[in-house]
Amino acid sequence: MREIFHDLRSRNGGNWIPRRHIFDMGFPYLGPVSDIGWISALDNLGIGILHLNRVKSRSVSQGEVLGVENQLKDAGLVRFPKGMHIQEHVAKIMLGVFGKDVKNKLTTAIFIWLIGEDEFVARNPPAWARSFQFVQEVVGDLNERATIMDGYIEVIGASGNVYRIKPKRHTPNYAVFRELDEKLEFICIDPVGAHNVVFGDILVTLVLSLYDDTNSARHINTLGRHVFGTPERMRRRNVNIEHLWRRAIGNPPYQDNGQLTDTMQRFIRRFQTNLMDWTQEEEGV
């Protein structure tokens, strides 16, 4: 059934959320976003208006339609139909007017729209089982430098850094931290192609990347500063004007009232557009 909706989305772009918008929302969604999309989805499931118009059914009230709409939106449905006829048809299905089998078919479809293949509840059990077995094997092969702890995986990198991979409720369902002075510092790492593999394989990639962090950091910018230190261009600059002038010409001349002399003030104004050149100097250097 999931393949049906993937195909509908690819063939009816305006009636389904574009893939780029799915990532903007932060969660996968495979359902229709127009009445035409709804009609196509129901027809492909064999439970459209034309499929069921010969089935005797009772009418539904506007209150019942509104109740179904609110329930589906609370569950995460992005768009309920706008047309009255399609609204009533969907409400009848969800209220069981056409029977349990028809209701179960639409309920399953809505579940597929809301839950992506990478979610645990929608997982492929054999594939997930193999991937997590692989995680255990890899961690075991790394001996004392990788350990499955209570609530996280600990990895000691080649640099000596200690990292933690912890579970997270929302996508991407993991978070990477570095242990630093009894604190945890978050590191943003998003493996390439993570959306297309089972979760255990993502964990293996993270474990091996952190284990060999001196090499991985050459390709993962966010890891680089933890291994090689903060780049020169990213360090905090001291742009205090007195510090800059002391670095340039020694202590700036003040008058008795504590103000800079007129000559020095003109000098500063004259060259203030070049002050950013001095920000390359490190504080206290």
Longest dimension (CA), the chain: 100
Tell me 10's DSSP state: H
Q: What is the predicted pLDDT for the residue at 64?
A: 94
Residue 145 has pLDDT above 60, yes or no: yes
At position 29, the amino acid (one-letter code) is Y
Place of tokens 């393949």: 3
- Residue 279 pLDDT grade (very low, low, confident, very high; cuts 50, 70, 90): very low
- Exposure on the CB side of residue 285, measured as CA atoms within 13 A: 11
Distances (CA, A) of 243 to 48, 157, 212, 281, 284: 75, 39, 41, 10, 9
Q: Return the pLDDT at 278.
A: 45
Q: N- to C-terminal Cα distance for the chain? A: 66
DSSP E strands, 100-193: 146-148, 153-156, 162-167, 174-180, 183-187
Identify the pLDDT of residue 153: 94
- Indicate the average pLDDT of the chain: 76
Short-list 66, 60, 72, CA closest to 32: 72
Mean pLDDT value of segment 155-160:
93
Distances from the Cα of 194 to the Cα of 118, 126, 127, angstroms = 9, 19, 15
pLDDT the model gives residue 254: 55
Residues of the chain with pLDDT > 70, as a percent, come to 65
Q: Region 227-237: what's the mean pLDDT?
A: 61
In this predicted structure, the answer to whether residue 66 has a pLDDT above a threshold of 80 is yes
Q: How far is CA 127 from CA 86, 115, 131, 141, in A?
A: 39, 18, 6, 21
Question: Two tokens at 182?
Answer: 């009894």
Tell the burial category of 123 from Cβ atoms under 10 Å away from its Cβ (0-12, 13-18, 19+). middle
Q: Is the pLDDT of residue 161 over 60?
A: yes
pLDDT mean over 97-121: 80
- Of 51-60, 67-76, 132-141, 264-273, the range with the lowest mean pLDDT is 264-273
201's CB contacts (< 8 A; 6+ apart) are 131, 134
pLDDT given at position 276: 45
Report the candidate in 22, 42, 204, 35 with the shortest Cα–Cα distance to residue 117. Answer: 22
Q: Which residue has the higher pLDDT, 63 or 127?
A: 63
Please report which confidence band the pLDDT of residue 281 belongs to, taking 50, 70 and 90 as the band edges: very low
Confidence band of 21 (pLDDT split at 50, 70, 90): very low
The encoded tokens of residue 232 equal 């020169």
Give a three-class secondary structure readout of 141-166.
HCHHHEEECCCCEEEECCCCCEEEEE
Give the chain's length: 285
| Mean per-residue pLDDT, 137-146 | 91
* Mean pLDDT of the 192-219 span: 84
Q: Which amino acid is at 153?
A: I
Mean pLDDT of 208-218: 90
Query: Distance between CA 184 and CA 219 in Å, rounded?
Result: 22
